[in-house]
Copies of this chain bind each other. A is one copy, B any other.
Amino acid sequence: MWNKNELTQKLGIAYPIIQAGMAGGVTTPELIAAVSNAGGLGNLGAGYMQPEQMKQTIQKVKALTDQPFGVNVFIPEIPEVSEVDLEKANEWLRPFREELKLKEPAVGKPSTALFEQQLEIIIEEQVPVCSFTFGVPSKAIIQQLKRENITLVGTATTVNEAMINEEIGVDMVVVQGSEAGGHRGTFSIPFGEAMVGTMALVPQTVDHIGIPVIAAGGIMDGRGVLAALTLGAQAVQMGTAFVTSLESGAKKQHIESILNSTEDQPQITSVFSGKPARGIQNEFMTKMAPYEKELPSYPVQNALTKEIRTEAAKQDRPEWLSLWSGQGSRLSKRLSARELVVGIVSQVNQLVR
């Protein structure tokens, strides 16, 4: 049986299909619960979430499903950003703010406080699965969460990063191929050196670590799921496929853009957040590209562009939104999350017959 392995047993799920914990409002309680209720693993993208909102969302998920689900959090990064760099960035962003009638935002200093509060909630709420992106947590945090019987999932973009995750003690690791949409999880080398395609990354990782590997990047349907399992992964993580689902909280322009895109449109950019991410090429990306290397690091740049993105959605200007998408975008469909999971399972069942 393609769906029974160490990972599905450990997570207590029927099918090795994980919905990525995408931050920024995509992962509604309805989406998470629909995926978990269909036999996959729904995940809350809590990376940017404030404690109270996060807690309420988790409670809402619990009200909608009695199946396991996960929460994804970001390992904090505290970059040094000078006043001069901040001023330069604000100057480059001024034309967008003017047209949207926005003021320059006050941007607070990044801290690790939010991350610590998020972990407390995960423990309090007894969330079954916790995943990390943008690095690995300390061994102390790993031990604390393990004592609470929380299953831990890391993120890697190279074989070496997967080995670092195994060494620190996570239970399983997502390997994110270069096809993946949204932010790159690279944390150990310059991101450009870690753009390894899923087809190459999965088998090489499987050969070098003992914990289960979850394949991510370019997987959109049953063909991709079975191919990833064939390469040695024990599950897949899919993001883009769920962004266009009916329960998705993604902005409607974002969903439309993915549904109408070709595979060469999602490109890597740092201009939205200060961290490389894959999204459908648009005017904000091309206009800001000349300044890309001089922009403040994540999460400062992310904070600087936040209102622009929110307001651009309200004013229906998709050309200034972050339209995160992986390279499998031509395969996207507008379906309920249940239909998506059920369709994938039946496609895999037909392929293995």
Give the Cβ gap from A318 to chain B, nearest Cβ, in Å. 19
* A80 interfacial contact with B, CB 8 Å: no
Closest B-chain residue to A232, C-beta based?
B223
- Copies, count: 2
Q: Say whether A197 contacts B226, CB under 8 Å.
A: no
* A231 interfacial contact with B, CB 8 Å: yes
* A178 interfacial contact with B, CB 8 Å: yes
Closest B-chain residue to A158, C-beta based?
B264
* A159 interfacial contact with B, CB 8 Å: yes
- Please measure, in the bound complex, the distance between the C-alpha atom of A227 and the C-alpha atom of B177, giving whole angstroms: 15
Give the Cβ gap from A226 to chain B, nearest Cβ, in Å. 5
Contact with B along A121-143 (1 / 0, CB 8 A): 00000000000000000000000
Contacts of A328 in B (CB 8 A): 199-200, 203-204
Q: Say whether A179 contacts B200, CB under 8 Å.
A: yes
Closest B-chain residue to A226, C-beta based?
B230
* A8 interfacial contact with B, CB 8 Å: no
* Contact stretch, chosen from A23-31, A71-79, A213-221, A299-307: A213-221
Contacts of A198 in B (CB 8 A): 197-200
- Please measure, in the bound complex, the distance between the C-alpha atom of A320 and the C-alpha atom of B269, giving whole angstroms: 31
Q: Say whether B331 contacts A204, CB under 8 Å.
A: yes
Q: Say whether B197 contacts A197, CB under 8 Å.
A: yes
Q: When A227-B231, A264-B193 are in contact, do A204 and B351 touch as well, CB less than 8 Å?
A: no
Give the Cβ gap from A323 to chain B, nearest Cβ, in Å. 15
For the complex with contacts A192-B267, A204-B330, A230-B351, 8 further pairs of A-B residues with Cβ separation under 8 Å are A158-B263, A197-B218, A198-B199, A199-B218, A203-B328, A204-B263, A207-B331, A208-B330
